[in-house]
Each structure stands twice: as structure tokens, then as C-alpha cells.
Amino acid sequence: MRARVPVALVSVIALVAVGCSSGATQAPAAPAGEPKAAISAELSEWQIKLDSNTGKAGTITFTIQNKGEETHEFVVVKTDSAADKLPVVEDKVPEDQLTPVDEVEDITVGSTETLTIEGLEAGHYVVLCNLLGHYGKGMYADLTVK
């Protein structure tokens, strides 16, 4: 029994040493707040979560997952207003009072869509779901493009 303890201890130390010296390197993490050219978005009732609220001017690709229980849409508008301060008429944001950039309509439950927007200029944008009543329940997020 005594002979097994040192053998087991040596085996564990060897495994740890091999694991630590495998030569694999991890890519450095992007600095916090760094503008991104690819942004993931998660839609649900009643919110839009972006993995970054800062995008890189030029081309941004959004990967949009509907993890909710209803169909949603993903509308990107350029505005100086905060996401929660857009005008509302008849339970929707009137599109004629905004500068729409692009959108994906009818994102069904459980689906993933991709939206690539080219030529985005630096400034403030709002991402929202503008289906009847959805914006009013909190389906929006601010996005700053740098």
C-alpha cells in the first residue's frame, strides 16, 4: 500500500506537467469596450441583448438568435435619441420619424439570422423590435459605432 502512494503522486504530477506544457496558446482577449465588427444578439421577451454595445465603423455583421417564445424582428436605426426615448405612435415606433439602416423581419422562434450592414458611419444607433407592442415592453438596445 505504501508503494502505491508515491507512484500515484508521481503520476498526478506528470499529468499536470504535461497538461501545462502542451505548447497550446490562447489568443489574447479583445480589450473591453473595443469596437467589434461582429456582434451577437439574443432576442427574447422582452429584451434585446447584444454581446457588445460598441461596433466598428464600416461593416458590422450581426448574428441574431431568437430565444424567445414569439416571432421578433431586428431593426437598426440611426438616431441621437437613447433607445428608451424613441417616439411611439399606436404602440410602435413610426418608421417615418427615424432613419432606418437595415432590418431582418419575422425571426421565428428558435431560429438564427445574420445581418451584415456595410458602410456604417460612426454615431449612435438603436436596435429594436418594432412589432406591435414589443418596443414598449423593452425590446431595444443602444449601439455606438466608432
pLDDT at position 11, please?
Answer: 44
Confirm if 40 and 67 have CB atoms less than 8 A apart: no
pLDDT tens per residue across span 121-145: 999 999 999 999 999 999 999 999 9
pLDDT at position 130, please?
Answer: 94
3-class SS of residue 127: strand
pLDDT at position 31, please?
Answer: 55
pLDDT at position 91, please?
Answer: 87
Catalogue all structural domains in the chain, each as residue range(s) with its CATH number. Answer: 36-145 (2.60.40.420)
Confirm if 112 and 65 have CB atoms less than 8 A apart: yes
Positions in the chain whose pLDDT score sits under 50: 1-5, 7-30
* Amino acid identity at 34: E
